Amino acid sequence: MGKNNLSFLEVIEWFSESGAELIHRVPEQGSGEIKLGAQLIVRESQAAVFFYGGKAFDAFGPGRHTLVTGNIPILTKVLSLPWGMTSPLQAEMYFTNMKVFPDLKWGTKDPVAFRDSKLGLVRLRVVGVFSLRVVQPVLLINSLVGTKGVYSTADIEGYLNRVIVSRINDCLGEKLDTLFNLPGQYDELVEGLKRRLQADFSHFGLGLGDLYITSITPTPEVQQAIDDKSRLKVFEDLSALIRMKVAMSLERAAKNPVGAGQGMGLGLGFMMPALFAGALKQGLAAPPAEVYCPDCGLTVAADDRFCPHCGHQIVILSQCSGCGKNLPPKADFCPRCGRKTSETPPGKVCPDCQTENLAEALYCNTCGVRL
């Protein structure tokens, strides 16, 4: 780092031993007394920014630089200030690591909400890696680093992680409709995420390199729902396979003539649908059919005797012969039309032969004309 333990900085340089530092300030605290004619050594993949009075004045690329007014024009202006020519320069030097910083981690601390078109609202954990590099050292120092002596990737990784997570929520909502289509959409999600983040990183003088999504995993509850749906799909495929096998066997049996010993094969072919249907009913019991109130049409329980919504009697003991209303037990008159329950409904007169028929008859019992 140079001679930071001396009162005058004669050789100013910095070497990152950890390789994780973005910015290193010389000196790390306060201002150093830079001697006129001091040597500034900037290594490859580094840039040095000269600060005086809290303001950036000049940037130096790789190489050896002598801090004199002859080859550093900005020093002429600085040293022309009162008592500047007779006193060492009070300034700081910020070294910026311009290399690519790979394998930086990002991920959701808590599961993020995602509305799946098939599963509904689910929660997902998303993790990945990314790389970055410094492209504008002065902008990075002024916007994020400030007066810190050392600024590493660990200092900025947490903030950038929150930026990435906020953007992945938008990408999931725009690019992904259901988790079942996720395996083929990783690349599309990454491209959309990189476009958003490149603009965000540039605000701090940083450039986004590679970005990868290593995994998108649902919570255990969502995973259980996916497994249940997969099992249901297996049973649906099994049912289709059985129906296909039965149809093929019937087709082969129809092509062969029925002779001695072949009639049983054909008979078995006709028996197979019933056998397979029975097996499917045992393995896949159909859900109970919903029961509706015949009066108001709302759903009622299968064992209800009266509708909980309108009070209509569900269990039918008898009906009015006139209007079809369900009659209460031992009722003498219909509560809807007032007909006496023992009264025989009027019959139907045939328009052709004028014969009187029963009320529920559809055809005349004498001439057969439809009533």
What is the reported pLDDT for 307? 81
Positions of the chain with pLDDT under 50: 1-7, 83-87, 259-268, 279, 282-286
Domain ranges of the chain: 8-97, 101-221
What is the reported pLDDT for 127? 92
Cα–Cα distance measured from residue 97 to residue 44, given in angstroms and rounded to the nearest whole number: 9
Whether the full predicted model's pTM is greater than 0.75, yes or no, is no
Q: Are 155 and 102 in contact (CB under 8 A)?
A: no
Q: Are 112 and 127 in contact (CB under 8 A)?
A: no
What is the reported pLDDT for 4? 39
What is the reported pLDDT for 7? 40
What is the reported pLDDT for 360? 61
What is the reported pLDDT for 287? 52
What is the reported pLDDT for 2? 41
Query: Which fold would CATH assign to domain 101-221?
Result: Tetrahydropterin Synthase; Chain A (3.30.479)
DSSP annotation string for 208-274: EEEEEEEEEEE-HHHHHHHHHHHHHHHHHHHHHHHHHHHHHHHHHHHHS---TTTHHHHHHHHHHHH
